[in-house]
Amino acid sequence: MPAARDITPSSATPEAGDIDVMRRCLEGSEEAFAELVDKYQHRAFWVAYHVLGRVEGARDVAQEAFVRVHRSMHRFDFSRNFYTWFYRIVMNLAIDALRKTQTARAASLDEFAHLLAVPDLTGDPAERQETRGLVWRVLEQMDVKFRAVLVLRDIHGLSCREIAPILRVTHATVRWRLHRGRQVFREHWERVARSWEG
């Protein structure tokens, strides 16, 4: 499994200049498009990986996301942030892939530890692996709409206001899904943990 430290909340923060790069892309600059790929390819991979839990699937999603950007850049709204538009493309592709395969697992479980009363994940490697397996099981049971919000908020560090346009829902809906998703996560975890201990 790729190391979770390869992405941090700060790396999800957009930088100035994306709009200028997009304008150059529309003028036909392949160098400008290469800049976007270089800047966002790792972020695209990690968003997809945290939804799918599979390296190959995440790579496919990231690659397809850039194909979609290239194909539809003429429809880009320059009054919006590029990264919001791009994350929406990646999330839609990842969620579609998740629904098709039904074999995905959310990734980077250590980031979710603060949501639960989970045993210390830094202890014995065998216990750590077993605990991670249980958390995988809990995440698999969650509705994708809750999982998507948890991935974007708790792993990638986006704010609820940033997540709203990505998922095409209201800010209030994001906040509710985050709150409810954490509740569901805890409820499932308690049941799974009890059966494990029993």
Q: What is the pLDDT of residue 105?
A: 42
Say what the pTM is: 0.62
Q: Do domains 1-104 and 105-198 have the same CATH topology?
A: no
Instruction: Give the torsion sign (CA, 190, 94, 102, 161).
Output: positive
Cα–Cα distance for residue pair 167/186, rounded to 1 Å: 23
Q: What is the pLDDT of residue 14?
A: 46
Spell out the per-residue pLDDT of the chain, length 198, in tens: 454 434 333 344 445 588 899 999 999 999 999 999 999 999 999 888 878 878 888 999 999 999 999 999 988 888 888 988 999 999 999 888 877 765 434 444 455 554 444 545 556 677 666 776 676 677 777 888 888 888 788 777 888 998 898 888 899 999 999 999 989 888 888 887 777 665
Q: What is the pLDDT of residue 2?
A: 54
The domain defined by 105-198 carries CATH number 1.10.10.10: yes
Q: What is the pLDDT of residue 128?
A: 67
> Where would I find the H helices in the chain?
18-26, 30-52, 55-72, 82-101, 125-140, 144-150, 160-167, 171-197
The domain defined by 1-104 carries CATH number 2.60.40.10: no
Domain ranges of the chain: 1-104, 105-198
